[in-house]
Chains A and B, each alone.
Chain A
Amino acid sequence: MPDAEGHFGRFGGRYVPETLVHPLQQLEEEYFRAQADPAFQKELSYYLSEFVGRPTPLYLAERLTRELGGAKIYLKREDLLHTGAHKINNALGQVLLARRMGKTRIIAETGAGQHGVATATVSAMFGLQCVIYMGAVDCERQALNVYRMKMLGAEVVPVQAGQRTLKEAVNEAMRDWVTHVRSTHYILGTAYGAHPYPVMVRNFHRVIGDEARRQILEKEGRLPDCLMACVGGGSNAIGLFYPFLNDPGVAMVGWRPADTASCPSNMRRASMGARWACCRARAPTSSRTTTGRSS
């Protein structure tokens, strides 16, 4: 858990314009109330199983295991969820929270479009107005996802500023939020941003690791030697890793692209920055980032 102000050691916190401070405090209060509320948890698990398609299988990749000839490889099949990615775990949790708070309008940023599609889907299910900000370059690259979001009733706003990709989409979503904060909930798509987003997003995704832990114990009668996840913003990685944090002997490896074209620009350099409303480390452009213990 982070400290009372949302810091994880040197990281995290809440670096936002004054207009958003109180709304974020209200979101934090409501989130922790919801988290402790059995009715909310019941509603969340109902939709996770009936609408989203949980639990997902932990699948033994037999041919890959044979081919590589080392570890026994299991795949946690988040790709089988409704809309095709883990993103919907968080989008669903946050939309239920938004309804609790009486918000009538949902906004989100999206890069490739998976988070946008998930957000558009849960917004449509609950009849909430939905606006998705997406860099103009990404809109072109991922035209199919733009089509899906529109089909789901969302308005997709192509962002023309700067590099016209994810970074600018986040800025534009923040500007929308600061302008419409009374009616609008911002469904942030990964474990970043101002407190309580990182802790909230992690907790909505920890279902990945909770299931995986239970499933591997059922199948193998032991914990895995190693967990691996790809890291963009980090939401699926932290969702998988978090329930194993107190398991000594489980190594955790996050993989990210070495080429800068497919790695968000804010995460390229090996330095700390305060951007997107939190302090975060920027991982180096190496092909691998190790988290937690490896012994």
Chain B
Amino acid sequence: MSPVSNRIEERFRRLREERRKGLVVYIGAGDPDLEATRRLTLALDRAGVDVVELGVPFSDPLADGIVNQLAAQRGLASGTTPPKVLATVAAIRRESEVPVVLYIYFNLLHRVGLANFIRDAAAAGVDGLLVLDLPPEEADEYEGLMRDAGMCPIWLVAPTTPEARVERIARRAKGFIYYVSREGVTGMQASVSTTIADMTARIRRHSDLPIAVGFGISNPEQAREVARHAEAIVVGSAIVHRVATHGQDPAMPDQVGAFAAELARAVAEVSA
């Protein structure tokens, strides 16, 4: 039952054809509640976002900075669970074909059971999983299940990843490779990392897959700068921060969508 192609691969193929760069946006699921997440995802789609990364809230998000930690706390407080996030993706799918990646900690998959979770996620219309704390060395079973379900396992490369390991990761990757441009947790930064040019070049020596660069990109200027080196950029905390500011305001999806549209325009100025 493995589909020929998946929405992520499809989207990056189209971006390549149109010589455009992509914009990946992270939001915390259930912040402030799942109905808002559904509306926000649709707004992001309209704003020109290419991939939506939905963070599944977890009590111990040790790779996340304070902005995303607080979003996860709000998500848990609104009663968000992994099955409810999948139901929300299914609801989004009734109106949108925007590629969706779940950003998730391994404990949540482990508790539900890998096979169950991956099956349900694919059925709900999820296109890829980014499991923060599951390195390829622990992922044989996961990879097999993901392949069978037709989903992309999104692998991370970090500034500390040596070349031999980049090669191993690149060999297993599907969809895109995510370069975490900083040693540290997620969060907004005043300047972009200086490792980007070197590391994206290193990844390209081993893979033709698109590279998405994230961690610390918080405004259109930085988005433009990073987009020169990659096929896509990822913006997380800067969006989540705006979600938090607008909170329960019914206009939140449109307001955050407007900021995403600014980022999309900045990225569009950089042609592939």
Distance in Å: Cβ of B104 to nearest Cβ of chain A: 12
Cβ 8 A contact of B135, one of A14, A170, A276 = A14
Cβ contacts A238-278/B at 8 Å (1 or 0 each): 00000000000000000000000000000000011111110
What are the residues of chain B within 8 A of A167 when measuring CB–CB?
A: 60
Say if the beta carbon of B107 comes within 8 Å of chain A.
yes
Cβ 8 A contact of B133, one of A23, A161, A271, A277 = A277
Q: How far is the CA of A14 from the CA of B137 in the complex (A)?
A: 8
Interface residues of A in 2-19 (CB under 8 A from B): 5, 13-19
Q: From B69, which residue of chain A is reached at the shortest CB distance?
A: A161
What are the residues of chain A within 8 A of B184 when measuring CB–CB?
A: 19, 175, 178-179
Cβ contacts B165-178/A at 8 Å (1 or 0 each): 10000000000000
Say if the beta carbon of A182 comes within 8 Å of chain B.
yes
What are the residues of chain B within 8 A of A178 when measuring CB–CB?
A: 62-63, 183-185
Q: From A13, which residue of chain B is reached at the shortest CB distance?
A: B138
Say if the beta carbon of A38 comes within 8 Å of chain B.
no
Contact across chains for A19 and B162 when beta carbons are under 8 A apart: no
Contact across chains for B183 and A19 when beta carbons are under 8 A apart: yes
Interface size class of A (residues with CB under 8 A): 20 to 34
Q: From B157, which residue of chain A is reached at the shortest CB distance?
A: A18
What are the residues of chain A within 8 A of B155 when measuring CB–CB?
A: 18
Say if the beta carbon of A171 comes within 8 Å of chain B.
yes
Q: How far is the CA of A13 from the CA of B141 in the complex (A)?
A: 14
Distance in Å: Cβ of A19 to nearest Cβ of chain B: 4
Contact across chains for B160 and A19 when beta carbons are under 8 A apart: yes
Cβ 8 A contact of B158, one of A18, A170, A272, A276 = A18
Distance in Å: Cβ of B260 to nearest Cβ of chain A: 25
Say if the beta carbon of A22 comes within 8 Å of chain B.
yes
Interface size class of B (residues with CB under 8 A): 20 to 34
Say if the beta carbon of B132 comes within 8 Å of chain A.
yes
Contact across chains for A17 and B158 when beta carbons are under 8 A apart: yes
**Binding site of A, secondary structure by majority: helix, strand, loop or mixed?**
mixed
Q: From B138, which residue of chain A is reached at the shortest CB distance?
A: A13
Q: How far is the CA of A179 from the CA of B185 in the complex (A)?
A: 7
What are the residues of chain A within 8 A of B132 when measuring CB–CB?
A: 17
Q: How far is the CA of A174 from the CA of B69 in the complex (A)?
A: 14
Q: How far is the CA of A5 from the CA of B138 in the complex (A)?
A: 8
Cβ contacts B100-115/A at 8 Å (1 or 0 each): 0000001100110000
Say if the beta carbon of A279 comes within 8 Å of chain B.
yes
Contact across chains for B59 and A21 when beta carbons are under 8 A apart: no
Contact across chains for B160 and A22 when beta carbons are under 8 A apart: yes
What are the residues of chain B within 8 A of A175 when measuring CB–CB?
A: 62-63, 65, 184-185
Assuming the contacts A13-B138, A14-B135, A161-B69, asked whether A19 and B180 have C-beta atoms less than 8 A apart, the reply is yes
Q: From B179, which residue of chain A is reached at the shortest CB distance?
A: A18
Assuming the contacts A5-B137, A275-B107, A279-B110, asked whether A21 and B185 have C-beta atoms less than 8 A apart, the reply is no
What are the residues of chain B within 8 A of A171 when measuring CB–CB?
A: 60-62
Q: From B184, which residue of chain A is reached at the shortest CB distance?
A: A179
Q: From A275, which residue of chain B is reached at the shortest CB distance?
A: B107
Say if the beta carbon of B244 comes within 8 Å of chain A.
no
Q: How far is the CA of A45 from the CA of B158 in the complex (A)?
A: 38
Say if the beta carbon of B134 comes within 8 Å of chain A.
yes
Q: How far is the CA of A126 from the CA of B184 in the complex (A)?
A: 27
Say if the beta carbon of A181 comes within 8 Å of chain B.
yes
Assuming the contacts A161-B69, A162-B59, A181-B160, asked whether A21 and B138 have C-beta atoms less than 8 A apart, the reply is no
Cβ 8 A contact of B156, one of A14, A18, A272, A277 = A18
Q: From B131, which residue of chain A is reached at the shortest CB distance?
A: A15
Q: How far is the CA of A272 from the CA of B109 in the complex (A)?
A: 12
Q: How far is the CA of A182 from the CA of B137 in the complex (A)?
A: 22
- 4 smallest beta-carbon distances between A and B, as pairs: A179-B184, A19-B158, A18-B156, A174-B62
8 contacts between A and B (CB under 8 A): A15-B135, A15-B138, A17-B62, A17-B156, A19-B159, A20-B160, A22-B158, A271-B111
Chain B residues with CB under 8 Å of chain A are 59-63, 65, 69, 106-107, 110-111, 132-135, 137-138, 155-162, 165, 180, 183-185
